Amino acid sequence: MTFFLTPVAPVRSRYRRSAALASLPLLFWILCAPTALRAQEMVAASSSAEVFAALPAAPEPQSSSQAASDEEHSDGQSKRILGILPNFRAVNADVHLPPQTVKEKFVTATEDSFDYSSLFVPVTLAAYDYVRNTTPEFGKGGVGYARYLWHSAVDQTSENYFVEFIVPVATHEDTRYYSLGHGGFVKRTTYALTRAVITRSDSGKEVFNYSEVVGAGAAAGVSTLYYPSRERSFSNTGEQWATSVGIDALSFVVKEFSPDINHFIFHGSKKFHTASSD
């Protein structure tokens, strides 16, 4: 028995060591599997975060205030009065702006001449002259009104370029209208009417408004080139000159009170400036 049992023990011992060695990988996997799984989850999470971070942010919907700003200057002045009349030159009086460049004066004259809202004045004047039959040579009916209309449109375009571009470039005058914005009705109205003869220079000083007076006169003189010969009298030219200056003066009054009017119509009631508030 001793002869047969003696070699059995080393065999069993070697078998146990082999079995133990064979089980080490399984034991190692059991111990390390949770840690490895957590590491994979962290890597996957970080990868997802990087992907979402790389995606562009969804555009935010444009608010009504942002859309409204497209129709307003940076100081709150509306670009169109009641959405109709052009108001590209209006600026608050307390706003300090750099001098206008030649390009800016040209752009302003072009906007006032060819923007869709600029049609309101020629259409109105053409209808007024048509009813009064101020130029009998134009005739009646649709053809007659069309003649009044294109003459009024050319009159306005010519005056805009003389008043807002040609003359102010030569005289170094600021073509913008600086709204007073405070005080009573009479004070603001008087201020607006006097802007037809008083304006600012490019350096910010108050000067005689050569741009308005001389520019409107030059445009009235040019109009004799395309009106019927019977209408090319000095009195008719002077009347058109005075009418152009008067219309611009009234437009300054409208520009002066346009912020109050727009606010009253589109944003509810607002207290207007009165003499007692001075």
Q: pLDDT of 53-89, one tens digit each?
A: 444 454 444 443 333 444 555 445 677 776 666 777 7
- Report the pLDDT value the prediction gives residue 267, as an integer from 0 to 100: 65
Question: Residue 8 falls within a domain, yes or no?
Answer: yes
- Report the pLDDT value the prediction gives residue 213, as an integer from 0 to 100: 97
Question: Residue 60 falls within a domain, yes or no?
Answer: no
Please state the three-class secondary structure of the chain as a single string. Answer: CHHHHCCHHHHHHHHHHHHHHHHHHHHHHHHHHHHHHHHHHHHHHHHHHHHHHHCCCCCCCCCHHHHHHCCECCCCCECEECCCEECCCEEECCCCCCCCCHHHHHHHHHHHHHCHHHHHHHHHHHHHHHHHCCCHHHCCHHHHHHHHHHHHHHHHHHHHHHHHHHHHHHHCEECCEEECCCCCHHHHHHHHHHCCCEEEECCCCEEECHHHHHHHHHHHHHHHHCCCHHHCCHHHHHHHHHHHHHHHHHHHHHHHHHHHHHHHHHHCCCCCCCHHHC
d(CA 38, CA 28): 16
- Report the pLDDT value the prediction gives residue 268, as an integer from 0 to 100: 52
Task: Tell me, yes or no, whether 95 and 40 share the same domain.
Answer: no
Question: Residue 71 falls within a domain, yes or no?
Answer: no
Task: Tell me, yes or no, whether 32 and 134 share the same domain.
Answer: no
Question: Residue 192 falls within a domain, yes or no?
Answer: yes
Task: Tell me, yes or no, whether 100 and 35 share the same domain.
Answer: no
Determine contact, residues 105/170, Cβ cutoff 8 Å: no
**What stretches in the chain show pLDDT beneath 70?**
1-77, 82-85, 93, 266-278
Determine contact, residues 102/172, Cβ cutoff 8 Å: no
Task: Tell me, yes or no, whether 102 and 217 share the same domain.
Answer: yes
Q: Which domain holds residue 176?
A: 77-277
Q: What separation, in Å, do the N-terminal and C-terminal C-alpha atoms of the chain show?
A: 131
Task: Tell me, yes or no, whether 41 and 81 share the same domain.
Answer: no
Task: Tell me, yes or no, whether 21 and 133 share the same domain.
Answer: no
**Nearest CA among 112, 115, 219 for reference residue 175:** 112
- Report the pLDDT value the prediction gives residue 53, as an integer from 0 to 100: 45
Task: Tell me, yes or no, whether 110 and 177 share the same domain.
Answer: yes
- Report the pLDDT value the prediction gives residue 47, as an integer from 0 to 100: 46
Task: Tell me, yes or no, whether 24 and 81 share the same domain.
Answer: no
Number of domains the chain is built from: 2
Task: Tell me, yes or no, whether 111 and 245 share the same domain.
Answer: yes
- Report the pLDDT value the prediction gives residue 83, as an integer from 0 to 100: 66
Question: Residue 263 falls within a domain, yes or no?
Answer: yes
Task: Tell me, yes or no, whether 42 and 136 share the same domain.
Answer: no
